């Protein structure tokens, strides 16, 4: 009886597994509270999962989102202990999806819109994810997902200049840069960094003109770097995608 009582004293927890194009993110949530976050190489995912199951007891719900080319399945003995949601084109979502090709909508974009619905219901929200690619996703005040845009991320732009020309060097992003570059390297930085910032600001401005009281969220690996150069009024949230996956998990388990 004491064992039975102590088991149910522990709050139940969710495990979020997000395997992206370059790294994997794992997170433990207790309801809406983020308890732990790990960013690891893809080959370390299974090891970290076992460690988290040992450290956080009891994890009873798991969501897996995999947008990489690496196949992954939760180990069978862990599947038997949890309620599992493997995010796919068939997974029910907590918003109305008006995307013309819903089967092609990436898991990461679904999660970002879910987070927008969870955190900003009945409001116009533009979510910008600055990672390998820069994605723009918009949901309106009726909590309908309309779509957005996809463009190259910072690293992809730098690599493209190096790969598709004979003489331009591979350059990395570095702090703020002047509008007028006075060398080849500083000119590349100006073109890529200033160009990306102006792209984002221009898209935000256009959405704001079309949709009143627009809320803009920026997230992703380059969000902190870019937000330094962006105008005020944009909310940075590095965990927005994880929050969205947690909400999708709760939405599906509660149905």
pTM of the model: 0.90
DSSP code, position 192: I
Q: What is the pLDDT of residue 69?
A: 82
Same domain, 11 and 105: no
- Displacement of CA 164 from its chain's centroid (Å): 29
Q: Cα separation of 158 and 244, whole Å?
A: 30
- What pLDDT score was predicted for residue 5? 39
Tally Cβ neighbours within 10 Å of residue 251. Answer: 18
Structural domain total, the chain: 2
Q: What is the reported pLDDT for 1?
A: 36
pLDDT at 10: 57
Same domain, 161 and 144: yes
Annotated binding-site residue numbers for ATP: 18-25, 132
Beta-bridged to residue 25, according to DSSP, are 18, 39
Question: Largest alpha-carbon pair distance within the chain?
Answer: 75
Name the catalytic one among 108, 137, 182, 254: 108
Same domain, 115 and 172: yes
Looking at residue 255, what is its pLDDT? 64
Cβ atoms of 245 and 16 within 8 Å: the answer is: yes
Residues of the binding site for substrate: 99, 106-109, 184
**Last-in-domain residue among 53, 86, 119:** 86
Report the CATH number at residue 18: 3.30.420.40
Task: Decide: helix, strand or coil at residue 231.
Answer: coil
Q: Are residues 43 and 149 in the same domain?
A: no
Annotation says 254 is catalytic: no
Mean pLDDT split into 10-residue runs, the chain, 255 residues: 44 92 92 94 91 92 91 87 94 97 95 98 97 96 98 97 97 89 96 96 96 96 88 88 98 84
Residues 166 and 178 in one domain: yes
């Amino acid at each position: 009886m004491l064992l039975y009582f102590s088991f149910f004293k522990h709050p139940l927890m969710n495990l979020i597994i997000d395997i992206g194009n370059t790294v994997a993110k794992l997170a433990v949530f207790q309801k809406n509270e983020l308890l732990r976050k790990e960013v690891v190489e893809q080959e370390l995912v299974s090891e970290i999962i076992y460690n988290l199951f040992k450290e956080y007891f009891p994890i009873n719900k798991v969501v897996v989102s995999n947008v990489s080319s690496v196949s992954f399945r939760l180990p069978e003995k862990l599947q038997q202990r949890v309620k599992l949601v493997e995010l796919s084109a068939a997974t029910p979502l907590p918003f109305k999806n008006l995307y013309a090709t819903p089967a092609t909508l990436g898991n990461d974009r679904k999660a970002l819109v879910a987070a927008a619905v969870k955190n900003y219901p009945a409001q116009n929200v533009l979510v910008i994810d600055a990672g390998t690619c820069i994605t723009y996703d918009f949901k309106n005040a009726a909590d309908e997902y309309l779509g957005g845009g996809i463009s190259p991320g910072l690293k992809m732009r730098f690599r493209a200049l190096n790969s598709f020309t004979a003489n331009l060097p591979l350059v990395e992003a570095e702090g703020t840069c002047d509008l007028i570059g006075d060398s080849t390297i500083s000119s590349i930085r100006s073109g890529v960094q200033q160009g990306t910032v102006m792209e984002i600001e221009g898209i935000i401005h256009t959405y704001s003109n079309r949709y009143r009281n627009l809320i803009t969220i920026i997230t992703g690996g380059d969000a902190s770097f870019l937000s330094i150069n962006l105008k005020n009024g944009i909310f940075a949230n590095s965990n927005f995608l994880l929050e969205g996956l947690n909400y999708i998990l709760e939405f599906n388990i509660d149905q």
